[in-house]
Homo-oligomer: A and B are copies of this chain.
Amino acid sequence: MSVLYVVKIGGNIIDDDRKLASFLKDFAALPGNKILVHGGGKLATRMAEQMQIPQQMIDGRRITDAETLKIVTMVYAGYINKNVVAQLQANNCNAMGVCGADGNVILAHKRVHPTTDYGFAGDVDAVNTDILKSLIDQQIAVVVAPITHDKKGQLLNTNADTIAQELARGLSRLYEVQLIYSFEKSGVLLDANDDSTVIPTINPAYYQQLKTEQKIFAGMIPKLDNAFAAIDSGVKKVIIGKAEQLTALVAGQAGTSIVHE
C-alpha cells in the first residue's frame, strides 16, 4: 500500500495569511498522496459579527442554527476552501476542494442529544472512499472543508478534527495512512509550558504510564485518546505538532508520533 498523508491544519494558521501561504508551500511540496482538512478559524465568527448574527456557544462548541450553517458553508466550503485550492495550484500542486456532500464523500446525521440542541451539527456515519481514491490516484491533493450532509438535502457542520480522523480511518483500508494534526504546540509536551519537552514517540504502554504518572496535560488527553482510537482502527501513525514544521513532522524529525508499538 502506498502512503497517504491526511493533514489537519489548525485555525491559528488559517487566520494568518503569511503563515498559511508558507504552510501551503510546504504542503504542496510534500511528495505523494495527500489530503488537507481545514476548519475556519475565526473567520466564521467575524463574518457572523459583520452580518449581525449572534453566535451561541455551549461548552466551547458553536450552536449551528440555520443562519450560522449558511455562514460556515460560505466561509469554510467557499472562501477558505477555494482560496486554499487556488494557492496550492499556484504552487504547482493540483488540488480539488470538496465538502462532505461532494461525491457523497462524508455522510452524517443531525446530532441527537438528550438535553442540548446543537442545531445543524453533523455526526459522521460513513466515508465514501471511491471518489477520494480516484482523485488521489490522479495525483490530486484533496482539500476538505468540514461540512457534511445527510443525503436528504441537508448540509451539516462537523468538527474538522473529526473529519480528519474519519477520513484517515476510512482510507486506511486503501492506503498506509499517516494522520497529522497540526496545532499551536510543538507536540505532546512533558511540561505544557516548555516547547522543548516534546515527547517524540508514544505507544499504548507509554501512554498508560504517562497517564498514571499524571505527566500529560489534561487538555491533551481527548486528542490522544482520539489518536489511539485512529491507530486501533487501522491508521498507521498519528503525528501531532506545529504546522510550521510540516516537512519535519512528516520526516519524523519533529512533533509527537503516536504509534502501535
Most buried by B among A77, A82, A134: A82
A96 & B102 in contact (Cβ 8 Å cutoff): yes
CB atoms of A90 and B134 under 8 A apart: no
Candidate in A78, A85, A147, A153 with the most chain B CB atoms within 10 angstroms:
A78
Tell me whether B94 and A153 are in contact (CB under 8 A): no
Is A79 part of the binding interface, using a Cβ–Cβ cutoff of 8 Å? yes
| Chain B residues closer than 8 Å to A134, beta-carbon distance | 134, 138
B79, B96, B97, B154: the one within 8 Å of A131 (CB): B96
What residues on B are CB-neighbors of A94 within 8 Å? Answer: 103-104
Interface residues on A, range: 35 or more
The A35-57 residues at the B interface (CB cut-off 8 A) are: 50-51
CB distance from A191 to the nearest CB of B (A): 40
Say yes or no for A152: interface residue by CB 8 A criterion.
Answer: yes
Q: Which among A50, A147, A153 has the highest number of chain B CB atoms within 10 Å?
A: A153
Is the C-beta of A86 less than 8 angstroms from some C-beta in chain B? yes
Which chain B residue has the least Cβ–Cβ distance from A143? B102
Q: How far is the CA of A9 from the CA of B233 in the complex (A)?
A: 44
Give the residues in chain B near A83, CB-CB below 8 Å: 73, 155
Q: Mark A97-134, 1 if CB is under 8 A from B, else 0.
A: 11101111000000000000000000000000011001
Asked whether, in the complex, the Cβ of A79 is within 8 Å of the Cβ of B73, the reply is yes
Question: Residue A8 at the B interface, CB < 8 A?
Answer: no
Contact B86 A101 (CB under 8 A): yes
Pairs across A and B, CB under 8 Å, 8 listed: A82-B147, A87-B153, A89-B104, A89-B149, A89-B151, A96-B102, A97-B99, A134-B134
Q: Say which residue of B78, B103, B138 sits within 8 Å of A78 (CB atoms).
A: B78
Enumerate A47-76 residues with CB–CB distance to B below 8 Å.
50-51, 70, 73-76
Interfacial chain B residues near A89, Cβ < 8 Å: 101, 104, 149, 151, 153
Q: Is A95 on the interface with B (CB-CB < 8 A)?
A: yes
Whether the pair A82, B138 counts as a contact (CB closer than 8 A) is no
A79 and B74 form a contact (CB under 8 A):
yes
